[in-house]
Amino acid sequence: MPIKTTNDTLNNLPIPERISYIFNCYAPEEILITSSFGTSSAFLLYHISRFNTKPDVHFINTGFHFSTTLQYRDELAHLFGLNIIDVKPDFEDHSYTEYEKLWQRDPDACCELNKVSPLEALKKKYKVWVTGLMAHQSDTREKISIVEVNPAILKFNPLFDEDPTKITDKLKKLKIPLHPLLEHGFESVGCMQCTDRGVGRDGRWQGLNKTECGLHNFQKKD
């Protein structure tokens, strides 16, 4: 089925049916699910956890995460019955970025070594990549769709049309714990050195000409 036809069909389906579609099309071992365990991550994980057959969830552990994020990861893994696999950067690459404090003078290179490269190696083992991206999270993400043809792997964004400002209320209604930093003004959480308080993604890479880590390649706005 052409991608446009697939997207048109899935657009009209609720999230559980969208995820069911992918689970029916691919075997669990063919599905790569990643989560940052950020402030909105629990919403996608909740929906995935409701299926009897659940693929592993991969967490890119850069070595620079807040301890509260790691605790939140473990809490959600226990709550949802998920098997979490840490994806870590090459030891020498990570040591280099730490020693040089690369996030200060070249944050793109820091992200490349600690996030992008480890994931690129992992993607080669799978056919489809399930993400929690939402089009309304930022200007760079506004053109995403449910299914996207990526050079390396098919991308599946079942939450693409969700309103990120309403995710917190939905999690509360579901009685799902929130990321501990949310109540302290951190609406988007990444690595410690590059995360500050802020609305939406405004707290990420403050003062730098940078809005994304590089894990996702977005089309520029017209």
Q: Is residue 213 part of a domain?
A: no
Q: Is residue 218 part of a domain?
A: no
The CATH number of whichever domain residue 38 belongs to comes to 3.40.50.620
User: How many residues are listed for the chain in this entry?
Assistant: 222
3-state DSSP assignment of residue 175: coil
24: domain range?
A: 3-194
Q: How crowded is residue 113: how many other Cβ atoms within 10 Å of its Cβ?
A: 20
Whole-structure pTM value: 0.88
| Dist CA 116 CA 211 (whole Å) | 15
| Dist CA 109 CA 40 (whole Å) | 26
Which sequence positions are flagged as catalytic?
213
Per 3-state DSSP, the chain is made up of helix, strand and coil in percentages (nearest 5) of: 45, 10, 40
Q: Is residue 222 part of a domain?
A: no
Q: Is residue 216 part of a domain?
A: no
- Residue 100 gets which letter from DSSP? H
Mean pLDDT over all residues of the chain? 88
Helix intervals (H) in the chain: 3-11, 15-25, 41-49, 67-80, 91-100, 102-105, 107-111, 117-123, 167-173
Residues 154-196 pLDDT 10s = 999 999 889 888 999 999 999 999 999 999 999 889 999 998 8
Q: Is residue 171 part of a domain?
A: yes
Q: Is residue 65 part of a domain?
A: yes
Q: Is residue 201 part of a domain?
A: no
What is the spatial order of strands in the sheet that 31-34 belongs to? 84-87, 57-60, 31-34, 128-130, 154-156, 147-149
- Work out how many domains the chain is built from and give that number: 1
| Dist CA 198 CA 210 (whole Å) | 15
Q: Is residue 90 part of a domain?
A: yes
Per cent of the chain over pLDDT 70 is 92
Residues 33-54 pLDDT 10s = 999 999 999 999 999 999 988 8
